[in-house]
A = this chain, B = another copy of it.
Amino acid sequence: MKEQHELKKGSTQTLILAVLGDAPSHGYAIAREIERRSASALKMGEGALYPALRALENEGFISSAWELQLSGPARKVYTLTEKGQGELARQKSAWQKFSEAVNSVIGGAPHGQTN
C-alpha cells in the first residue's frame, strides 16, 4: 500500500527553493532532505526533480557548480541566487494563501446559499 504523496500539485519548485534557502545542496541530497523533513510523506522522483532544477536555473533562481568527490560520482551543487530568494518568499506566500483557501472550502461552514 502506497501512502506516499507524489507531490505533483505544482509544489515541486517551492520545496526545492525552500531546501536551498537553508543551504546549497545537490539534486540527490535535495530529494533526500525533502523526504526527511516530511517524514517520508513526500517523495520526489528524478523525473520531477531534475527538470525542475533545470527550470529554476534557467529562470535565474538558482545557480550550479560541479563538485568532484574523492569517492563516488560528481555532484552538481545548486545555490539560491538573490533573485531566487525573492521567488522563494513569493512561492511560500502563494502556498500559504492557497492552502488556507482550500482549507476554508473543505473545512468550510455550509451556510450562505449560492442558489
Contacts and interface: CB of A to CB of B under 8 A. Distances in A.
Interface of A: 5, 7-11, 14-15, 18-19, 22-23, 25, 29, 32-34, 36-39, 41-42, 92, 94-95, 97-106, 108, 110, 112, 114-115
22 contacts: A5-B94, A5-B97, A5-B98, A8-B9, A9-B9, A14-B106, A15-B106, A18-B105, A18-B106, A18-B108, A23-B110, A25-B114, A25-B115, A32-B114, A36-B112, A37-B104, A37-B105, A38-B101, A39-B104, A42-B98, A42-B102, A99-B99
Give this chain's copy count: 2
> Which 5 A-B pairs rank lowest in CB-CB distance, beginning with the nearest?
A9-B9, A41-B101, A38-B101, A18-B106, A22-B110
